Amino acid sequence: MKKKFLGWILFLITICNGQYVGAQELLTNVYGRQYTFLNGKWNVIIDPYQQGRRTSIYKNRPLRNKADFKEYEFEGGLRLNVPSDWNSQLPELKYYEGTVWYARKFKVNKNQDENLFLYFGAVSYRCRVYLNGKEIGSHEGGFTPFQFNITDLIIEGENFLAVEVNNTRTVDAIPALSFDWWNYGGITRDVMLVHTPKVYISNYFIQLDKYKPDYIHAILQLSERKAGQKVRIEIPELKIASEVQTDGQGIAKTSFRAKNLERWSPQKPKLYQVTVSSATDHVKENIGFRNLSVKGTKIYLNDAPIFMKGISFHEEIAQRQGRAFSEQDAVALLSEAKELGANLVRLAHYPQNEYIVRLAEKMGIMLWEEIPIWQGIDFKNAGTRMKAQRMYTEMVMRDRNRCALAFWGVANETAPSEARNAFLKSLVEHCHEMDTTRLITAAFDLPKLNPETKAFEMNDSFIEELDVVSINKYMGWYHAWPSDPSEVCWNVAPGKPLIFSEFGGEALYGQSGDSTVTSSWSEEYQEKLFRDNLEMFNNVKNLAGISPWILFDFRSPYRFHPTNQEGWNRKGLISDQGFRKKAWYVMKEFYNNK
Ligand code: GCB
């Protein structure tokens, strides 16, 4: 009885917190530490009725005697690749939404002088993790990393790891019940064993001052929350070596001048090798430095206004009909963005894998990153708010050293209400606590034509919280043109920079038709639609950037048209087979001349 009561208390704490228990504060820069991958073929059991937990299949117990038997076995059954989604690996899992158990063994030689972390780049959407037959924690959210310190849980030699993954859509989740992309399930990013010394550098944040061109701020946290520990930050190329001591929380803060610093920009994405070390730990990575701010209706990068030449993509390789997860995938996606002439990628609509983020920075592409607060979110639910805050933390903590990150997006297409305002305001405040060097934005689909002023206007007080306001508006697709595009006026967020974060329309690659008929789904229609929108943008006084929707056709189960869509959103400038549509050339020319 007592046990049951305790179980309930734990359950209630979990629910009230709106999050699963167990996952711990993230290590900064796991790829810069000593690690081994647990990627590869994992054994799986598909569990649509969710019976595995009841029968404790994660214990993988051996048979005890002649009369014993079990109705499951991981070995010798189905196997799936990790990382990857399950939907693209087995035809019967294409539409699957439910539970799949993943399991594998791994060997360790225990080392008394180190900590061992089990790190997941992402698991979609929720999971429970079991090590050697015991639940060690859980996580919710399909696009952000999490980790467990397993130092005291591993055994010498062979260990058995099981992960119960579930991608059922629920009303309190983020995203919630419906969204315009494929609900891929699985262990979709790298799984790693990360080694650190006993006392280690748990996280650090090193960036240029928001305004000063040569002033770097650094903050480091050691795992031991004790004063007087020495830490060192070195940037050899700049002849910088700064030494500081921790406070009682194990935190060390410092700022220093960097003479002859060359700032990062899309034209010259300069990165410096930075080393952070303590008495016992030593971590290295490449970091870039730049100033980013807003003055009036302009966005400034370093000392000059910059126009955001954006493009979006989902974390998907269309030809494989599955999630992108590798460095090679990142090359494929970002090279096409670069080829288009983009200087900004909006990672739609969720944090994408770290390969993409790091490569974009090397290639000189700025990034907009957001968590999947995409329409239909249960803003009144305190648990959902907690989840959003945790996802935010995981995203910002993973990527705040990437100077390419220009925007944190707080929401996509939400309608004003008291509950929404409070929810999103709490996210903006939370974001400011972790990082003040990025611009905060949100995308709105609310602007309406005011028949009196003949301009599109928007009434949403939440924009006061934002540095930059973004608009998703599908003129010529979901919205008929009210007049000639050259006459359509915009008066949205007049004192702030405005980005058109989505515009476009669908075309089936290779289909020609009448450029004036929407339902032709033709490349000619899409091409004209792009020309018309670009014409309209001339009338937007506070225009600071545009980002068409979208670079590649992508899979979406609510795209029903039997011949033109077949389960694909066809707004891509590039088809599912990798061919450029006519509209691609219109955008390319526009970006070249801008
Ligand atoms: C939007 C959404 C995006 C959709 C797009 C569309 O406004 O933000 O996720 O995919 O429209 O194609 O309808």
Residue 143, Cβ density class (10 Å: 0-12 exposed, 13-18 middle, ≥19 buried): buried
In this predicted structure, the answer to whether residue 16 has a pLDDT above a threshold of 80 is: no
In this predicted structure, the answer to whether residue 337 has a pLDDT above a threshold of 70 is: yes
Residue 124 near ligand 1, beta carbon < 6 Å = no
The secondary structure element, H or E, covering residue 397 is helix 382-399
For ligand 1, atom 4, the nearest C-alpha belongs to: 180
CA distances (Å), origin 206, targets 230, 276, 293, 573: 17, 10, 17, 37
In this predicted structure, the answer to whether residue 15 has a pLDDT above a threshold of 80 is: no
Q: Which atom of ligand 1 is nearest to the CA of 554?
A: 10
Residue 180 near ligand 1, beta carbon < 6 Å = yes
Looking at residue 18, what is its pLDDT? Answer: 34
Looking at residue 22, what is its pLDDT? Answer: 58
The verdict on whether omega for the bond into residue 266 sits within 30 degrees of 0, i.e. cis, is: no
What is the mean predicted confidence (pLDDT) over 466-475? 98
What is the mean predicted confidence (pLDDT) over 279-290? 98
Residue 472 near ligand 1, beta carbon < 6 Å = yes
In this predicted structure, the answer to whether residue 47 has a pLDDT above a threshold of 90 is: yes
What is the mean predicted confidence (pLDDT) over 164-175? 98
pLDDT confidence of 1, banded at 50, 70, 90? very low
pLDDT digits (tens, 9 = 90+) for 121-149: 999 999 999 999 999 999 999 999 999 99
Looking at residue 121, what is its pLDDT? Answer: 98
Q: Which atom of ligand 1 is nearest to the CA of 413?
A: 8
User: Ligand 1 center to residue 468 CA distance, Å?
Assistant: 20
Q: How far apart are CA 98 and CA 88, in angstroms?
A: 15
pLDDT confidence of 2, banded at 50, 70, 90? very low
Looking at residue 25, what is its pLDDT? Answer: 85
Q: Which atom of ligand 1 is nearest to the CA of 412?
A: 8
Half-sphere exposure of 201 (CA within 13 A, CB side): 25
pLDDT digits (tens, 9 = 90+) for 174-208: 999 999 999 999 999 999 999 999 999 999 999 99
Choose which residue among 183, 472, 560 to substitute to test ligand 1 binding: the one with the highest number of ligand atoms within 8 A of its C-beta.
Answer: 472
Residue 502 near ligand 1, beta carbon < 6 Å = yes
Looking at residue 588, what is its pLDDT? Answer: 98
User: Ligand 1 center to residue 180 CA distance, Å?
Assistant: 6
Looking at residue 9, what is its pLDDT? Answer: 38
In this predicted structure, the answer to whether residue 371 has a pLDDT above a threshold of 50 is: yes
User: Ligand 1 center to residue 141 CA distance, Å?
Assistant: 21
Residue 330, φ and ψ in degrees, nearest 5? -60, -40
Provide the angle, in degrees to the nearest 10, between the axes of the packed helices 418-434 and 382-399.
30
Looking at residue 427, what is its pLDDT? Answer: 97
What is the mean predicted confidence (pLDDT) over 291-307? 97
User: Ligand 1 center to residue 376 CA distance, Å?
Assistant: 13
Looking at residue 292, what is its pLDDT? Answer: 98
Residue 569 near ligand 1, beta carbon < 6 Å = yes
Looking at residue 24, what is its pLDDT? Answer: 78
User: Ligand 1 center to residue 178 CA distance, Å?
Assistant: 12
Q: Which atom of ligand 1 is nearest to the CA of 571?
A: 12
Residue 549 near ligand 1, beta carbon < 6 Å = yes
What is the mean predicted confidence (pLDDT) over 358-375? 98
Residue 183 near ligand 1, beta carbon < 6 Å = no
Choose which residue among 549, 564, 570 to substitute to test ligand 1 binding: the one with the highest number of ligand atoms within 8 A of its C-beta.
Answer: 549
Choose which residue among 178, 502, 561 to substitute to test ligand 1 binding: the one with the highest number of ligand atoms within 8 A of its C-beta.
Answer: 502
Looking at residue 21, what is its pLDDT? Answer: 43
Nearest to 188 by CA among 338, 350, 332: 350
Q: Please tell me the least confidently modeled range out of 19-23, 41-45, 193-197, 394-398.
A: 19-23
pLDDT digits (tens, 9 = 90+) for 484-518: 999 999 999 999 999 999 999 999 999 999 999 99
User: Ligand 1 center to residue 579 CA distance, Å?
Assistant: 21
Q: Are 78 and 121 in contact (CB under 8 A)?
A: no
Residue 414 near ligand 1, beta carbon < 6 Å = no
User: Ligand 1 center to residue 506 CA distance, Å?
Assistant: 11
Nearest to 318 by CA among 574, 508, 93: 574
What is the mean predicted confidence (pLDDT) over 41-55? 97
pLDDT confidence of 283, banded at 50, 70, 90? very high
Q: Are 366 and 299 in contact (CB under 8 A)?
A: no
Q: Which domains does the chain have, with CATH numbers?
A: 33-194 (2.60.120.260), 199-290 (2.60.40.10), 294-593 (3.20.20.80)
Q: Which atom of ligand 1 is nearest to the CA of 556?
A: 10
- pTM for the model: 0.95
Neighbour-count burial for 235-258, b at 16+ CB within 10 Å, e otherwise: beebebeeebebeeebbbebebeb
Higher-pLDDT residue of 13 and 119 is 119
User: Ligand 1 center to residue 109 CA distance, Å?
Assistant: 49
In this predicted structure, the answer to whether residue 4 has a pLDDT above a threshold of 80 is: no
Q: Which atom of ligand 1 is nearest to the CA of 179?
A: 9
In this predicted structure, the answer to whether residue 13 has a pLDDT above a threshold of 70 is: no
In this predicted structure, the answer to whether residue 5 has a pLDDT above a threshold of 80 is: no
Nearest to 185 by CA among 170, 201, 165: 165
Q: Which atom of ligand 1 is nearest to the CA of 180?
A: 10
